[in-house]
Structure 1
Amino acid sequence: MKKLLIPLFVLILIVACKKNAEKPVPNVIDSTAQVKPDSTSTSETITNKEASLKKANDEVLQTLKNKDYKTFASFIHPEKGVRFSMYAFVDPKSDKQFSKADFEKYQPTKTLFTWGAHDGSGDAYKATINDYLGKWVFSKDFTASQYSPNQFLGGGNSLNNLKEIYSKDDFTENYIKGTEKNGEMDWKTLRFVFEDFQGKYYLVAVVNDQWTI
């Protein structure tokens, strides 16, 4: 009788182990085995962003070179408009700002606007939109300038607060080095501040910079 009990006990153990092995494994995530970010995907995203920013920058420059201000208007942010700063220091209270609609309304006209004050003399700079864009903003051919995304190349003795005012936005710099004849003090740079809106980069600011007294 005892000899029969031993095989029966062994059989019960085998059946019990088999049932335990068939139980489903709980769906538990190991916190130490999190999915690592795809570095290739991240790199591609950054590259695509930089390419889009460069494309927008170059297209805006071309509209200014061609004096195609109607096309330029298509780059103005639909909701925030665009602000123009004569020098590196951005003053949200006094710098001239246009909504897209107002820019398109006044651009063809001879209406004079005060854009700021000349460095040194302090005289107010009054001009039409076309004259300001053609004579001040695009005072040199910036399509042949040195390009830099989100980094400053030009800088003088004037305060540059662009990163403080537009801390969440991307900007581009188009820099023309000064000449040896003038001790390289005749450098100029043109900066565009862009903001992504519904998958496209739009202008929210146009900032000129140069040596000031």
Structure 2
Amino acid sequence: MKKLLISLLVLTVVIACKKEAGKPVPNVVDSIAQAKADSIGKLPTKEEREASLKKVNDEVLQALKAKDYKTFASLIHPQKGIRFSMYAHVDLKGDKHFSKADFEQFQPTKTLFTWGAQDGSGDPYKATINDYLGKWVFSKDFTASQYSVDKFIGGGNSLNNLKESYPTANFTENYIKGTEKNSEMDWKTVRFVFEEFQGKYYLIAVINDQWTI
């Protein structure tokens, strides 16, 4: 912002001087736009963006694997908080949502939360934050999974509405294929949805997916 103000001040002085000298005045709109662009800097390339997403995706996975939930909390979006969806279908009103402050407050406690309804039985799934993260979100070692960014790998019979629910966000997927013993029906995946805030990607959603009845 300071650079932009200085650029505008210099531009004003230049214009005034050229008027006095009877010289043509430069295009003010173009000059201001250029000054603004210079002050903001270049937008990241696709490769840089994907590298940043891979880095934060791996940070989330490592935090979950180590049960380091303080580090996990530090990756939650400071303003939008985080939403957890048990299955591929996102319910923006019904799925469990925490602000960053609430997550940090309740994570160390034994408070039980209802995270959704279990497929098949329809019974409510109740667990502490730690148990949900350790037993549901990270039910398999997703650090050894197949990775993708903004592309789906796994897919079952549950409606996947991630892109409709978060149309401007980026997401990563960590997929573990099923076993031959179970006709590959026991596949699992976890998707992380990110939005940028002050030059850094933060988690706004964690979505698990698997074959449902």
With the length of structure 2 as denominator, give the TM-score of the two structures. 0.80
Q: What is the 5 A alignment of 1:49-128?
A: 49-128=49-128
Query: Structure 2 stretches of 5 or more lacking a match?
Result: 1-22, 28-41
Cα separation, 1, equivalents of 2:101 and 2:176? 32
> Does residue 200 of the first structure (1) align with residue 197 of the second (2)?
no
Describe the superposition over 1:106-164 as per-residue Cα deviations: whole angstroms up to 9, x where unpaired.
00000000000100000000000000000000000000000000000000001000000
Describe the superposition over 1:16-40 as per-residue Cα deviations: whole angstroms up to 9, x where unpaired.
xxxxxxxx99989xxxxxxxxxxxx
1:124 maps to amino acid: P
Q: Which residue of 1 aligns with 2:182?
A: 182
1:151 maps to amino acid: K
Cα separation, 2, equivalents of 1:167 and 1:99? 20
Aligned to 1:181, the other structure's residue is in SS state helix
Aligned to 1:114, the other structure's residue is in SS state strand
Aligned to 1:52, the other structure's residue is in SS state helix
Residue 75 to residue 175, structure 1, CA distance change in 2 (3 Å): same
Q: What is the 5 A alignment of 1:15-54?
A: 45-54=45-54
1:135 maps to amino acid: K
- Let me know the Cα RMSD of the aligned residues: 1.7
Q: Which residue of 1 aligns with 2:34?
A: none
Q: Which residue of 1 aligns with 2:162?
A: 162
Cα separation, 2, equivalents of 1:72 and 1:83? 13
2:50 maps to amino acid: E
Give the greater-gyration-radius structure (CA): 1
With the length of structure 1 as denominator, give the TM-score of the two structures. 0.80
State how many pairs are aligned: 177
Aligned to 1:148, the other structure's residue is in SS state strand
Aligned to 1:154, the other structure's residue is in SS state coil
Q: Which residue of 2 aligns with 1:9?
A: none
Cα separation, 2, equivalents of 1:133 and 1:201? 20
Query: Structure 1 stretches of 5 or more lacking a match?
Result: 1-23, 29-41
Aligned to 1:195, the other structure's residue is in SS state strand
Segments ≥4 residues shifted beyond 2 Å: 24-28
Residue 50 to residue 181, structure 1, CA distance change in 2 (3 Å): same
Aligned to 1:172, the other structure's residue is in SS state strand
Cα separation, 1, equivalents of 2:43 and 2:24? 37
Query: Displacement, 1:45?
Result: 1.0
Describe the superposition over 1:74-122 as per-residue Cα deviations: whole angstroms up to 9, x where unpaired.
0000000000000000001110000000000000000000000100000
Residue 110 to residue 199, structure 1, CA distance change in 2 (3 Å): same
